[in-house]
Amino acid sequence: MCLGIPGQVVEIIDAAKHLAKVEISGVRRQISLACIVSDSHPIESCVGDWVLVHVGFAMSVINEDEARKTLELLMELGEAQKELEAMQSSEQN
Amino acid sequence: MKYVDEFRDPELAKTLLAEIERLLPKIKTTSQRPLQIMEFCGGHTHTIFRYGLEQLLPKTIELIHGPGCPVCVLPMGRVDDCIALAERPEVIFTTFGDAMRVPGSRKNLLQAKADGADVRMVYSPLDALELAKKNPDREVIFFALGFETTMPSTALTVLQAAEDNVKNFSLFCNHITTVPTIKAILDSPSMQLDGFVAPGHVSMVVGEEPFHFVANLYKKPIVITGFEPIDILQSLWLLIKQIAEGRCQVENQYARVVATGGNSPGLAAMASVFELRDYFEWRGLGSIDQSGVKMTEAYSHFDAEKKFSMPNLKVADPELCQCGEVLRGAIKPWQCQLFGTACTPETPMGALMVSSEGACAAYYNFGNLQEIMTLKEKSIS
Ligand code: SF4
């Protein structure tokens, strides 16, 4: 929850609500981009961004190399597995 | 633990360790006592143990593991409140998985679920909001916890709920704030800290500015730090360099993620949804002024504390549990009587054993357990 997990924005789902599909370690999930969009970085330009995702929100744009290193660290700490499991088992219905 | 050679950049790690080694004798205090550096954040504690950083460092540096694990500092009374809410028949109580096993005075959320309460694990507060939309005849409560790292996400979820006019969604707000807590630690007479490793992801949200008081008012160096072992080594080097040169500043080792001004959309959302509480109760640490937030008047119709009545009792921690002393750095986890015997990650008595970011769980999982238990036996007999 505190460490977050890196992913890549693959597609915008709802521009008005800042929602996008983000691929995180092979898992695709709806994520809010509300914290990373700005006038100079509008939502349409976010596709392809590597982002650090905390509990369903992209909190910061990072570069690809940083994303890869962070994921390796999270794997070693066992945190990545926990995050992915939480994502997949999350109840929305 | 790992050996330096297995680090991603062993050469850099060795250089940093050698530099730290070279600088330490220049610091006068080290001839009398070790330098005490606190890592505030549980994420850092986890990395430190996983990579055995303490064993790599010279004896003249002591790392004090701070209270920055939001699950660990949740008082028992608040867990009891969660259970009281969850046991209401109309309620679907939603929470992050980390919070399920935190002990309350009667039971934890997992046991409440087994006893029939409708408790559901969600990954994101947005999932809880979805759940509310799909179950209009139920009341969905999201158990909001965490430091500033997770505050933007709950604030933005409440803003979304307001926009969508969702009436059956509310937050049980247990968010806690970093800065007043660091201040309380600095004000505590029993603490003699020489520097701080500041939390990376809290800083990602709040930026550098809120930490300036540590350097300006308290004259302690503080470095915003990432979570790789090499990040922590580099920050320790930066801290020791500051101490050796008689400087105290806020430095940002984690600039690749942390912008100087923090995250403005996140901060704006937080400012409209949350305001400081006068005080908040912490497990083991007692009450700390302004160390938590509640919901603002404008969003009080999303506040579970206003919507529902709850017991809101103060419950003392179990007598033998020494989480407080460990959180304050007064004892090491293995010095607690319950460590490794009555209290293990499978059967946690105290909150520090619940989350992988808690100091006790970190010692238990990654320390040399046999050695630790021998030390413990010796200290008891
Ligand atoms: S061993 Fe258990 S009871 Fe003792 S300080 Fe650690 S978490 Fe608390």
Measured in residues, chain A has a length of 93
Q: What is the pLDDT of residues A54-66, one digit of tens each?
A: 999 999 999 999 8
**Residue whose tokens read 């002990």:** B103
- Of B301, B316, B331, which one is at a domain's C-terminal end? B316
Q: Confirm whether A91 is domain-assigned.
A: no
Name residues contacting ligand 1 (CB within 6 A).
B 321-323, 326, 333, 336, 338-339, 343, 349-350, 352-353, 360
Asked whether the predicted pLDDT for residue A93 surpasses 70, the reply is: no
Asked whether the predicted pLDDT for residue B2 surpasses 80, the reply is: no
Judgement on whether residues B62 and B139 belong to the same structural domain of the protein: yes
Judgement on whether residues B341 and B242 belong to the same structural domain of the protein: no
Q: What are phi and psi of B135, to 5 degrees?
A: -125, 65
Mean pLDDT of all residues in chain B? 90
Residue B335 is part of which domain span? 323-380
Asked whether the predicted pLDDT for residue A35 surpasses 90, the reply is: yes
State the Cα–Cα distance between residues B232 and B243, nearest whole angstrom. 16
Residue closest via CA to ligand 1's atom 5 equals B323
Judgement on whether residues B54 and B131 belong to the same structural domain of the protein: yes
Name the pLDDT band for B1 (thresholds 50, 70, 90). Answer: low
Report yes or no: A60 and A7 within 8 Å, Cβ to Cβ: no
State the total domains in chain A.
1
Q: What is the pLDDT of residues B189-202, one digit of tens each?
A: 777 899 999 999 99
From chain B residues 159-198, the ones with a CB under 8 A of any chain A CB are: 160
- When CB atoms are compared, the residue of A1, A38, A91 closest to B127 is A91
- Of B290, B316, B342, which one is at a domain's C-terminal end? B316
Q: What is the pTM of this model?
A: 0.91
Q: What is the pLDDT of residues B62-100, one digit of tens each?
A: 998 888 888 888 888 899 999 999 999 999 999 998 888
Report yes or no: B282 and B290 within 8 Å, Cβ to Cβ: no
Q: Confirm whether A92 is domain-assigned.
A: no
- Of B316, B350, B368, which one is at a domain's C-terminal end? B316
Judgement on whether residues B303 and B328 belong to the same structural domain of the protein: no
Q: What is the CATH number of the domain that holds B305?
A: 3.40.50.11740
- When CB atoms are compared, the residue of A1, A37, A92 closest to B127 is A92
Percentage of chain B lying above the pLDDT 70 cut:
98
Q: Confirm whether A93 is domain-assigned.
A: no
Asked whether the predicted pLDDT for residue A36 surpasses 90, the reply is: yes
Query: Is B94 in CB contact (< 8 Å) with chain A?
Result: yes
Higher pLDDT residue, B140 or B368? B140
Shortest Cα–Cα distance, B92 to chain A (Å): 11
Q: Confirm whether A81 is domain-assigned.
A: no
Return the CA Rg of chain A: 13
Number of the ligand 1 atom closest to the C-alpha atom of B358 = 7
| C-alpha distances in Å from residue B105, one per residue of A38, B81, B82, B122, B129 | 46, 10, 12, 24, 29
Residue A51 is part of which domain span? 5-62
Report yes or no: B40 and B178 within 8 Å, Cβ to Cβ: yes
Q: What is the CATH number of the domain that holds A57?
A: 2.30.30.140
Q: Which residues of A touch B (CB under 8 A)?
A: 1-4, 17, 30, 32, 34-38, 52, 54-57, 59-60, 62-63, 66, 69-70, 72-73, 76-79, 82-83, 86-87, 89-93
Judgement on whether residues B363 and B224 belong to the same structural domain of the protein: no
Judgement on whether residues B188 and B270 belong to the same structural domain of the protein: yes
Judgement on whether residues B108 and B167 belong to the same structural domain of the protein: yes
Q: Confirm whether A44 is domain-assigned.
A: yes
Judgement on whether residues B6 and B134 belong to the same structural domain of the protein: yes
Judgement on whether residues B208 and B357 belong to the same structural domain of the protein: no
Judgement on whether residues B237 and B346 belong to the same structural domain of the protein: no
Judgement on whether residues B267 and B369 belong to the same structural domain of the protein: no
Q: Confirm whether A72 is domain-assigned.
A: no
Do the Cβ atoms of B153 and A17 come within 8 Å? Answer: no
Q: Which amino acid is at A52?
A: L
Judgement on whether residues B273 and B375 belong to the same structural domain of the protein: no
Do the Cβ atoms of B205 and A93 come within 8 Å? Answer: no
State the total domains in chain B.
2
Q: Confirm whether A15 is domain-assigned.
A: yes
- Please enumerate in sequence order all residues whose Cβ is within 8 A of that of B70, keeping only pairs 6 or more positions apart, or say none: A1, A2, B42, B145, B146, B147, B150, B174, B176
Q: What ipTM does this complex have?
A: 0.92
Do the Cβ atoms of B160 and A66 come within 8 Å? Answer: no
- When CB atoms are compared, the residue of B50, B70, B120 closest to A76 is B50
